[in-house]
Structure 1
């Protein structure tokens, strides 16, 4: 039932195009910019190339939907660094994208620990960097209690579901992976002891031999991560390879969106 609810929620157009929460001046970003993108030069913000939608005020700071899109005809994106300025580990994830996902329409849920800019820094095919982002009012997301008991966590860890739907000539894939993605800042609600960090670190999603997207993640990706992405369907099943920080590996193949 819970899985069905999550898929139904993400199948809808979750986020509008907000104008009330643009990026704010950020000393945190000024300090980390060079280490994140390798240069002190601020990437331009260009909505003709890249857009990022996020709620002005998050309903749940541990499950903040981030939707990265491109207008039709925009230059192809090869990679995106997703950054939450105010989080203990600001780089939430680094993604790479295959040609089948262009123009980009990609959604993921993150934890937001304090009122913060959330930004995507994209690398284009020609090597240029473009930025998009929003200021999100949320706090406590990285330390929010897990949604399930430890028994439930261990019993379902690594389970995956994948659904497809046609939309405007493309497929929309929704991938859900059962994993607590412990941040290292949460407490066991029974023992009150801090739960060590334990999260999906790498993810590879392909169709046949063609890459759809990869992820190299930190602690800011939400519990039971969900990825929604538009793509041009190709040949072969959609395959998923996931590995967490404990070395556990899960592989799954989906045919026909099952």
Structure 2
């Protein structure tokens, strides 16, 4: 009887082990790189010791270094967030994105995908009227900035600038709060990738500015660099003002301008 009990207990522990092992904390780790970058990113601003009103979540070990999901979530619901800057310390161009959010985005719940070139701290600097705050995660990933493009360059250029809108669920009746995703076709070449035929480096070519509007109301803007993944995608929650479409305006480093109205009743 005792043997049966011990066996059952051991089996139960084995079954529970994966759930425990899968929970990995990945806070920022000490490193000199940030101290070297700090002034270029925030100048003389003092980073508050208080908890940031905007948290950042990222996987401890990324499944794909070229498309690492980063989630920004507002934890202090009364804070007024002026700007959020995502920094990947060890990337060749560490500032991945500078984001501003309109009133309809509060509380911020925002996801983007980035490239991570080597094991690195990934942090978000949040600017508010009360000061500058920082939160972050340590991500184990490598090779994201030089990873080959997923599609043939000619196919990429043929679809350049195409956009798609996805909406998830129905807006909550009390708040008109809803969730959306906007996807933009663009190779976002980093300048570190090689043409798989010629083996020559592909020149950097990426989305450098993007705006999303509902009617006359701005939802968010993004100024980005080479760390934003191929075919940029942004998933976010916002308060719907009833406008029939979301409008996306974007430019890239080659001077291309993309603008499209994405009707909510004809999402892709």
* Distance across 2 between alignment mates of 1:167 and 1:86: 40
Answer whether contact 2:118 2:142 (CA < 8 A) is retained: yes
Matched, 1:22 2:30: no
**Pairing of 1:155-234 with structure 2 (within 5 A):** 155-166=158-169, 169=172, 170-234=177-241
* Correspondence 1:140 to 2:143: yes
Tell me the distance in 2 between the aligned counterparts of 1:162 and 1:248. Answer: 21
Superposed displacement of residue 34, structure 1? 1.4
TM-score normalized by the length of structure 1: 0.88
Partner of 2:254: 246
Q: In structure 2, the residue corresponding to 1:164 is in which secondary structure? A: strand
Question: Helix, strand or coil for the counterpart of 1:77?
Answer: coil
- 1:50-69 equivalence runs, <5 A: 50-69=54-73
Deviations 1:201-244 (A, max 9, x none): 11010111111000111110000010001000014221000110
Q: Are positions 1:121 and 2:128 aligned together?
A: no
- Provide, for residues 117-141 of structure 1, a one-character-per-residue CA deviation record: whole Å limited to 9, x for no partner: 00011112x1511111100000110
The number of equivalent residue pairs is 240
Say whether the 8 Å CA contact 2:46–2:132 is kept in structure 1.
no
SS at match of 2:154: helix
Secondary structure (helix, strand or coil) at the match of 2:104 reads helix
Q: Name the SS of the counterpart of 2:125 in structure 1.
A: strand
Secondary structure of the residue aligned to 1:224 is: coil
CA RMSD of the aligned region, Å?
1.8
> C-alpha displacement at 1:76, in angstroms?
2.4
Corresponding residue for residue 14 of structure 2: none
Q: Which has the higher helix share?
A: 2
Tell me, yes or no, if the aligned pair for 2:24 and 2:60 is still in contact at 8 Å: no
- Normalization by structure 2: what TM-score? 0.85
| Equivalent in the alignment of 2:84 | 80
SS in 1 for 2:29: coil
Tell me if 1:70 matches 2:77: no
Secondary structure (helix, strand or coil) at the match of 1:146 reads coil
